[in-house]
Amino acid sequence: MDKIIDNKISKKERILSFCIYAFFILYIVFLLRITLFKQAPMYNLFAAIGASERTISIIPFKSIFDMISTDVSLMRILENVLGNIIIFIPFGLLLPIILKKENKNIILNGVIFSAFIEIIQFILGLGSTDIDDLIFNTIGVITGYLLFTTIKKQSKSNLSFLISMTVLVFISGSIAFGILFVNNTDLFLISPRETTVENREFVQDFIETQNYLSGKFVEVKDSTLTVEKRVQNASEKKELMDVKITPDSRIYICYVKIDYFFSTVSGEHQRYEQILYSDFISNESEVIKKGNNVSIWSSDGKKVDNLVVFEWLE
């Protein structure tokens, strides 16, 4: 009778261990997805290679201080810090089970894996390489490992330990996946979004070329268009730029309507309309509002050749 019971327990342990192994594999896949290929869609993952500028920061917490000094929102900073910690907690939690080891080498393995990701990001141009990420990832591994040892000590048997771990992994994994799916649905899209464009012939000759300036419309006064230049990264500061707009300038407004699937753009509808120079200068109907996104094409950097103002529709 005891032998039968032992066999049943062993079978349960094998099933639970298999579940944990399977979750760990899925976790590693998702970890690589959101760290290395977050800029690329599922249907074209390798499009992200070389897409980002190669940057490296080896000064601890410099990136955090840079974000604080450039008025980045507290929520954005917390997302960066806590996100880098949380995504590595499962690594420290599950790796001891996978390797069947309970020692500080687990933390070292976490550091090595995090460093590997940062190095690959730099080599393949998949994102910025930052010592802060390594630090916060390591904190996540340590947190996960401490959680593992705590659960292990509190468990009366290996079976109860595996049950506790499986339940914890299932619940926390489901919550994490749900949050990730709702807030970053684009990570899971397997087909490109549909874009429909009306009157594209108006802008066909320049819209695909590199623009001179993008930013937000501030004002137009005495044929001078003032734009707040778009900030590309946390190290850049907001800057107002002036360009001349003349009767020869071609001015368009692009009405944009976005369809969403949870947090992700699933479809986009664009409609272009041309605006007369006199209407733009007077702007009596206030079609162009302060804060509208604009893109400017200029051959000499002084006057506007083509201007597109974007208006988002509800």
Domain housing 222: 194-313
**Number of separate domains in the chain:** 2
16 shares its domain with 162: yes
Q: Would you say how long the chain is, in residues?
A: 314
171 shares its domain with 230: no
183 shares its domain with 199: no
pLDDT in tens, 241-263: 999 999 999 999 999 998 876 66
281 shares its domain with 162: no
What whole-number distance in Å separates Cα of residue 43 and Cα of residue 191? 6
183 shares its domain with 198: no
139 shares its domain with 257: no
Residues linked to residue 273 through DSSP beta bridges, in sequence order: 253
Answer whether 0.75 is exceeded by the pTM.
no
End-to-end CA distance of the chain: 69
pLDDT in tens, 59-117: 888 888 888 777 677 777 888 888 889 889 999 999 999 988 777 788 999 999 999 99
153 shares its domain with 205: no
297 shares its domain with 182: no
User: Among 188, 211, 228, which residue terminates a domain?
Assistant: 188
Residues linked to residue 251 through DSSP beta bridges, in sequence order: 275, 307
What whole-number distance in Å separates Cα of residue 306 and Cα of residue 304? 6
161 shares its domain with 249: no
167 shares its domain with 198: no
65 shares its domain with 204: no
